[in-house]
Amino acid sequence: MKLLVVSDPHWAGPAELPRRGYEARAMPHRIQRILAAAWRKGFWLADPMAHNDKLDRILALNPDPDLVVANGDYSVDSAFVGISDDAACDSAHRCLNALRAAYGDRLLPVIGDHELGKHSLFGGVGGPRWESWLRLESRLSIPAWWQRDIGRHRLIAVPSTLVALPAFESELLPEEAPFWRAERQRVLSEIRAALTALEADRRIILFCHDPSALPFLAELPEVRDRLPQWESTIIGHLHSPAIARLATLLAGMPILRGLGSSVKRYSTALHRARAWKEFRVRLCPSPTGAQALKDGGWITAEWDPESPAPIPWQHHRLPW
């Protein structure tokens, strides 16, 4: 079994490209714009719209995997409302088309936080939108969650934003909140039933875009009962292995209040990050990684599906 995992391609389609500078425009204060520009140019990613070539290169370098998992975040989400924005939906559609053209039904897509929307950094613009959730299946053919058996392993993908919904409550539109809560109950009950029915000798590989969802999963008795069967959890979202290492170091830090909803959400996630350990978390980086380190790429695993040996995950760096 040759498995390829790619994550966070953040494809910029023709309708999103003219929105360069979208993040600064969503910040009301000059000091916020200066801090965000320093963070973006000095470390994170100077121009998030300049990297469509990276996914093409990864696809060209991986012509024949048996299975491909795309671990979420297909558009730039330049309106901060996920794929309810037509321009972001078009970007995500083009990105998934490229993946499907290369791999057909070997592709298993996972839902990222930017498919649904979330508050802009500092600005507090946008958030998850119910229309984005509805469009996942109808426009992008991404199911709410999925599972697939490969030899001794069960691959399970969960929608991280929906699982971590209590952390996003302040970003929801009040009139949409009841729909989100009901959908969370529905999806979680399906996942719990699947775990209850799981054979005791099967190993679990979880795909969960945003690791903030893991402490919420750990609250479920069906998940706790199965932790001894956990092989790996493949996350995305953090883009850079350096950020993933930093997050592990900061696990348990205090929650920062009064600096906006994004800072509170990130610090809450880190406050609860000790739970990641039990899930055997491994990052699939974005194709770019961080601007300062250029530490992006993809991960693969090649194993005998009937072998009980641990999965030999391999990280591949994409130079740029």
Cα dihedral 108, 138, 189, 227 in deg (nearest 10): 20
- Nearest-approach distance from CB 193 to Fe ion, in angstroms: 30
User: Given the complex with Fe ion, which of 118 and 153 has the nearer CB atom?
Assistant: 118
Given a contact cutoff of 8 angstroms between Cβ atoms, the answer to whether 129 and 82 are in contact is: yes
Q: Return the range that interacts with Fe ion (CB under 5 A); candidates 2-10, 99-107, 135-143, 152-160.
A: 2-10
Binding-site size for Fe ion (CB under 5 A) equals: 2
23 binds Fe ion (CB under 5 A): no
- Nearest-approach distance from CB 30 to Fe ion, in angstroms: 26
Q: Distance between CA atoms of 232 and 280, rounded to whole angstroms?
A: 5
User: Given the complex with Fe ion, which of 8 and 171 has the nearer CB atom?
Assistant: 8
Site string for Fe ion, 52-81 (x = CB under 5 A): ---------------------x--------
- Nearest-approach distance from CB 31 to Fe ion, in angstroms: 25
Given a contact cutoff of 8 angstroms between Cβ atoms, the answer to whether 83 and 115 are in contact is: yes
Site string for Fe ion, 258-287 (x = CB under 5 A): ------------------------------
8 binds Fe ion (CB under 5 A): yes
85 binds Fe ion (CB under 5 A): no
Mapped onto helix, strand or coil, the DSSP state of residue 33 is helix
Strands (E), the chain: 2-6, 67-70, 107-109, 146-150, 153-158, 203-208, 230-235, 281-283, 297-302, 313-317
What are the φ and ψ backbone dihedral angles of 319, each rounded to 5 degrees? -70, 145
- Count CA within 13 A, CB hemisphere, residue 258: 1
